[in-house]
Amino acid sequence: MEKIKIKQIRSRIGRPKDQKRTLDALGLNKMNKVVEHNATPQIMGMVNKVNHLIKILD
């Protein structure tokens, strides 16, 4: 399965609770933290929900 790397580039301060929970579920709890996940439909849905806070790395 394809892997994707996700980096949090914007702060979670002042964001709605559901977006904060989505970042937590992705394992992103600090700025500039990078995590790697399999590109499943569930993960891609979470990525699309908070795409303004994160960046997909190569």
The pTM of this model reads 0.92
pLDDT tens by residue, 13-46: 999 999 999 999 999 999 999 999 999 999 999 9
C-alpha distances out from residue 34 to 17, 26, 48, Å? 21, 10, 17
Residue range of the domain that includes 23? 3-57
pLDDT of residue 58: 78
pLDDT of residue 38: 97
**How many domains in the chain?**
1
pLDDT of residue 21: 98
pLDDT of residue 5: 98
Give mean pLDDT, residues 2-11.
Answer: 97
In 1-58 the beta strands, taken as DSSP E runs, fall at 3-8, 34-38, 54-57
pLDDT of residue 1: 84
CATH number for the domain harbouring residue 46: 3.30.1390.20
